[in-house]
Amino acid sequence: MNNEIDKIKEEIKVFNPKTLYDLKKFKNKFLSKKKGIIKFLFCKLKKIDINKKKILGKEINYLKKEVKKKILENNNLLIENKLENKQNLNFDFTEPGEKLENGSLHPISIIIDRIIDILENIGFNTYENSNEIEDDWHNFTALNIPINHPSREMHDTFFLRKNPDILLRTHTSSMQIRYMKNNKPPFKILSIGKVYRNETISHNSNYIFHQAEGFYINKQVSFLDLKEVIFFIINSLLKRNIKIRFRSSYFPFTEPSAEVDIYHNNKWIEIMGCGMIDPIVLKNVGINENKYSGYAFGLGIERLASIIYNIKDIRIYLDNDIRFLEQFKSEF
């Protein structure tokens, strides 16, 4: 039996598995509970006389340890194999992929992105810090709409608190005040956001809509600069030569003031108000009205989007109807 044990010792010593299969075979050969060599040797031991039993028993236990050591030494084969299996499971590159549905941007977001693109290209900076909750001074008074001024009635305001008045802004012109009081001219600013009016809801007007407010202050800014920029914006957005008209109008914060209409589906549609910023407003925000002048315009985004996409009812923008929104996928 001694001879046999020496042979096995040698076999264990030189064993050098290349694959996990080799290792498993080795483990089975020695440690299998039914047919393993170790088990076989222990069985043989039973018939041997007691004195030799002790010595040989130790030897067989030593063999068992060596086999286990060998298996541990080659454990990396096992780990590598596990990784390989895992990769095989997770990444079968030949399998056709699962189709993912693309989302879409809201049409108002699409138009806002386009306006930002167009205006940033001609030197406007976007002022992101937009307040939807305003106080009276920023929304009205500083814009030359003092208390009891009849033009306040044009703004159907949602008041959050009275005395002092806190409200949901009725237009983005309040952003002119917020920016101008904290910055020195010259500047060319674009501010876009939601505005709120307590109006009767119809296909043509809603209580929430979006405006894009642009304003430019420098020395010697003229009405011609304003007309030029408005023609440029409308032509860039509509990508064709559409009929545009300036209609004389009134806003307390611009002088002169105009309304801009565009001709669509055989009628004139009003899409923005504009004008030269009234010197009183410049004075209210601490800008020298003798040195500087400027223009401002406020564009209604829903109206414009309705013209671009031929939409008949303005309420649909707030409906969150997936069938409507899905149609803008190709624009994404």
Site string for ligand PHE, 68-107 (x = CB under 6 A): ----------------------------------------
Task: Work out how close the CB of 164 gets to ligand PHE at its nearest, in angstroms, rounded to a whole number.
Answer: 22
Amino acid present at 202: S
Coil, strand or helix at 211: strand
Task: Work out how close the CB of 198 gets to ligand PHE at its nearest, in angstroms, rounded to a whole number.
Answer: 14
For 285, half-sphere exposure in the C-beta direction (CA atoms, 13 angstrom radius) is: 28
The answer to whether 310 and 205 are in contact (CB under 8 A) is no
| Phi, psi (deg, nearest 5) at residue 218 | -160, -175
Q: Which two tokens stand for residue 158?
A: 């949602």
Work out which of 296, 301, 304, 314 binds ligand PHE, going by CB under 6 A.
Answer: 296
**Separation between Cα atoms, residue 145 and residue 137, nearest integer Å:** 9
What do you get for the CA distance between the two ends of the chain, in Å?
A: 81
Question: Total number of residues binding ligand PHE (CB under 6 A)?
Answer: 11
Which of the 8 DSSP states describes residue 296? E
Task: Work out how close the CB of 128 gets to ligand PHE at its nearest, in angstroms, rounded to a whole number.
Answer: 19
Segment near ligand PHE (CB under 6 A), from 11-19, 82-90, 218-226, 292-300? Answer: 292-300
Q: What is the pairing mode between strands 267-277 and 254-264?
A: antiparallel
The answer to whether 282 and 263 are in contact (CB under 8 A) is no
Work out which of 274, 282, 287, 307 binds ligand PHE, going by CB under 6 A.
Answer: 274
Helix%, strand%, coil% for the chain, nearest 5: 45, 20, 35
For 250, half-sphere exposure in the C-beta direction (CA atoms, 13 angstrom radius) is: 7
Residue closer to ligand PHE (CB basis): 107 or 273: 273
Residue closer to ligand PHE (CB basis): 253 or 317: 253
Within 42-71, which residues bind ligand PHE (CB under 6 A)? none
236 contact partners, CB below 8 Å, separation of at least 6? 118
- Under rule CB under 6 A, residue 275 binds ligand PHE: yes
Residue closer to ligand PHE (CB basis): 173 or 306: 173
**Separation between Cα atoms, residue 190 and residue 214, nearest integer Å:** 4
Place of tokens 């208390």: 147
Within 223-252, which residues bind ligand PHE (CB under 6 A)? 251
Within 158-197, which residues bind ligand PHE (CB under 6 A)? 171, 173
Work out which of 254, 284, 293, 306 binds ligand PHE, going by CB under 6 A.
Answer: 254
Q: Which two tokens stand for residue 175?
A: 């952003």
Segment near ligand PHE (CB under 6 A), from 30-38, 93-101, 231-239, 268-276? Answer: 268-276
Residue closer to ligand PHE (CB basis): 231 or 324: 231
Task: Work out how close the CB of 274 gets to ligand PHE at its nearest, in angstroms, rounded to a whole number.
Answer: 5
Residue closer to ligand PHE (CB basis): 31 or 154: 154
Contact set with ligand PHE (CB under 6 A): 171, 173, 251, 254, 257, 273-275, 296-298
